[in-house]
Amino acid sequence: MLAIAVQTNDARHLRVGAEELAGLVRRIGAGGDCFLVVQRIPDLPDVYIQVWHKAGRHYALEHRDGSADRHFEVHLEGPEPVIAAMTAWARAEPGWGEGLDWRPLDLGPAPEPAAPLMLDAEGDPHE
């Protein structure tokens, strides 16, 4: 069993084995079943690996290791390299992503921070 949680379009799978993870990757692409998000247990904020795939298209594999500037993607032609990378990531194997053409993912400009909530003396919001 791998210490991971896998979110699919319709379910959350906890502590799956390598073969189950491989099966989940192989099944995506048809209908509304097109992505997996994998997080470690215990969860680390903004640390995950995910894949998106639609039948007839490439697999878009991404991983994030903290901040937005540590978010990368690679496009792969089939499920096997995705399975290898995701399984090695889940096992925290050193060099798990080597050999793949990772590129920084451009998420666009960061959103403006929300304005602070102004409260009166009673704690009610006011403008």
The predicted-structure confidence for 69-87, as pLDDT tens digits, reads as follows 999 999 999 999 999 999 9
Alpha carbon distance 63, 12 (integer Å): 19
CA atoms within 13 A on the CB side of 42: 0
Check if the beta carbon of residue 39 is closer than 8 Å to that of residue 12: no
Residue given tokens 């998420």 in the structure block:
107
% residues pLDDT > 70 (the chain): 88
Q: Please tell me the pTM assigned to this model.
A: 0.83
Over the stretch 4-24, which tens digit does the pLDDT of each residue have?
Answer: 999 999 999 999 999 999 999
Alpha carbon distance 27, 88 (integer Å): 19
More reliable by pLDDT, 106 or 96 = 96
Q: Cβ atoms within 10 A of the Cβ of 77, count? A: 10
Tokens coding 46: 């903004």
